[in-house]
């Protein structure tokens, strides 16, 4: 895959080799390579939806590499409040920067933005659809622990219906034909089309309604928050809220050495006491957002090849 000048919208646009290139580049960056590769570059962060990790790590990644950041977090101070369309906003911002990082609540908004922009657009999350750079850092974090991504078995726990990080990561792991386990109450289960697609790509999959039911070993348990903001019916949310919680006892009952990951933010699905366990790598995972986003920014701007 050619990265220079390309937008990063969906894992579905990518091949395994491109994912391996990002992991390899992030590793080089983490070891101190490609310093100053964003000097003279301006990154615009257009966040129409709340974020801590993604926005801060893109900003931090840019500045550590010598670039500058402009942008907004929430549209209150922008002309969106006067009725300006997404397309006009993006066309305008395109003239002020070298790359646009966008988060938007509407599925497909990042794709639309990339069609309107004259600079590469990076999808930082569009509704319940995709969050590709989260997937890059998830894969990078796994690759630091497990050499061969095709051999690991990841169990996904939580909101598999609305969780865009799950949708992106499961598809990416299917490119490696990795086996996967999906654990969720029925109304939060993986969308059928995605499950079918993953199976057709060659991944062995299993589904369970509760963590205590699983009868296979796991290398990684990938926990997700219930995406309250995406429920149309709050009564439906109340029915599933708090139905799973990972505690030190839960972790001890799983495969020895299992790594606990979470894209964060968490609400109450992982007990804070798990944080001190060696199994917990979710804050390390969040911090890997820096080298991974440095790698992707350098690749799309052509300062890393
Ligand atoms: N993981 C993630 O996307 O976190 P934020 O919503 O804080 O950016």
Nearest CA to ligand 1 atom 3: 54
Global pTM reads 0.95
262: annotated active-site residue: no
Nearest CA to ligand 1 atom 5: 51
131: annotated active-site residue: yes
Query: 6 CA to middle of ligand 1, Å?
Result: 23
What pLDDT sits at residue 165? 92
Query: 141 CA to middle of ligand 1, Å?
Result: 16
* Cβ density class 186-213: b for 16+ within 10 Å, e for less: eebbbeeebbeebeeeebeeebbeebee
Nearest CA to ligand 1 atom 6: 51
Q: Which of 54, 89, 135, 141 is labelled catalytic?
A: 54
239: annotated active-site residue: no
Q: From 265, 267, 283, 292, give the residue whose CB has the most ligand 1 atoms within 8 Å, as the site to mutate.
A: 265
Residue 92, Cα to own-chain centre: how many angstroms? Answer: 27
What pLDDT sits at residue 235? 84
Q: From 45, 46, 48, 53, give the residue whose CB has the most ligand 1 atoms within 8 Å, as the site to mutate.
A: 53
What pLDDT sits at residue 78? 95
What pLDDT sits at residue 234? 83
What pLDDT sits at residue 43? 98
Query: 63 CA to middle of ligand 1, Å?
Result: 19
| Topology of the domain covering 132-286 | Rossmann fold (3.40.50)
What pLDDT sits at residue 27? 98
Query: 289 CA to middle of ligand 1, Å?
Result: 10
- Residue 131 alpha carbon, nearest atom of ligand 1: 3
What pLDDT sits at residue 228? 81
What pLDDT sits at residue 128? 84
Q: Which of 34, 103, 104, 153 is labelled catalytic?
A: 103
- Ligand 1, pocket residues at CB < 6 Å: 51-54, 125, 134, 263-265
Q: Which of 34, 104, 131, 167 is labelled catalytic?
A: 131
53: annotated active-site residue: yes
Q: Which of 53, 68, 177, 230 is labelled catalytic?
A: 53
| Topology of the domain covering 11-131+288-300 | Rossmann fold (3.40.50)
Query: 286 CA to middle of ligand 1, Å?
Result: 9
What pLDDT sits at residue 233? 83
What DSSP line would sit under 131-179, residue for residue? -HHHHHHHHHHHHHH-S-TTS--EEEES-TTT-HHHHHHHHHHHHTT--
Query: 79 CA to middle of ligand 1, Å?
Result: 25
Query: 3 CA to middle of ligand 1, Å?
Result: 24
Ordered per-residue pLDDT tens for the chain, 305 residues: 799 999 999 999 999 999 999 999 999 999 999 999 999 999 999 999 999 999 999 999 999 999 999 999 999 999 999 999 999 999 999 999 999 999 999 999 999 999 999 999 999 999 888 999 999 999 999 999 998 999 999 999 999 998 889 999 999 999 999 999 999 999 899 999 999 999 999 999 999 999 999 999 999 999 999 888 778 788 887 888 888 899 999 999 999 999 999 999 999 999 999 999 999 999 999 999 999 999 999 999 999 99
287: annotated active-site residue: no
């Amino acid at each position: 895959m050619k990265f220079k000048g390309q937008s990063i919208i969906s894992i579905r646009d990518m091949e395994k080799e491109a994912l391996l290139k990002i992991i390899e580049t992030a590793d080089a960056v983490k070891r101190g390579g490609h310093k100053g590769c964003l000097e003279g570059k301006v990154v615009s962060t257009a966040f129409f939806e709340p974020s801590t990790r993604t926005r801060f790590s893109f900003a931090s990644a840019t500045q550590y590499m010598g670039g500058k950041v402009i942008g907004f977090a929430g549209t209150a101070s922008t002309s969106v409040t006067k009725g300006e369309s997404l397309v006009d906003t993006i066309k305008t911002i395109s003239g002020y920067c070298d790359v646009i990082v966008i988060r938007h609540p509407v599925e497909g908004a990042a794709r639309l933005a990339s069609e309107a922009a004259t600079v590469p657009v990076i999808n930082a999350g569009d509704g319940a659809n995709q969050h590709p750079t989260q997937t890059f850092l998830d894969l990078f974090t796994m690759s630091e622990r497990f050499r061969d991504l095709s051999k690991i078995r990841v169990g996904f726990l939580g909101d598999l219906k609305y969780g865009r990080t799950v949708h992106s990561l499961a598809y990416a792991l299917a490119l490696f034909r990795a086996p996967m386990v999906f654990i969720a109450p029925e109304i939060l289960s993986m969308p059928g089309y995605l499950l079918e697609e993953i199976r057709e790509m060659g991944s062995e999959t299993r589904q369970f309604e509760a963590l205590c039911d699983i009868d296979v070993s796991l290398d990684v348990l990938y926990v997700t928050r219930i995406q309250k903001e995406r429920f149309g019916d709050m009564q439906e949310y109340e029915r599933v809220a708090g139905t799973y919680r990972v505690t030190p006892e839960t972790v001890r009952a799983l495969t020895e050495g299992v790594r606990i990951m979470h894209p964060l933010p968490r609400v109450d699905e992982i007990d804070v006491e798990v944080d001190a366990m060696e199994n917990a790598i979710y804050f390390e995972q969040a911090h890997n957002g820096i080298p991974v986003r440095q790698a992707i920014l350098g690749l799309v701007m052509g300062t890393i090849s």
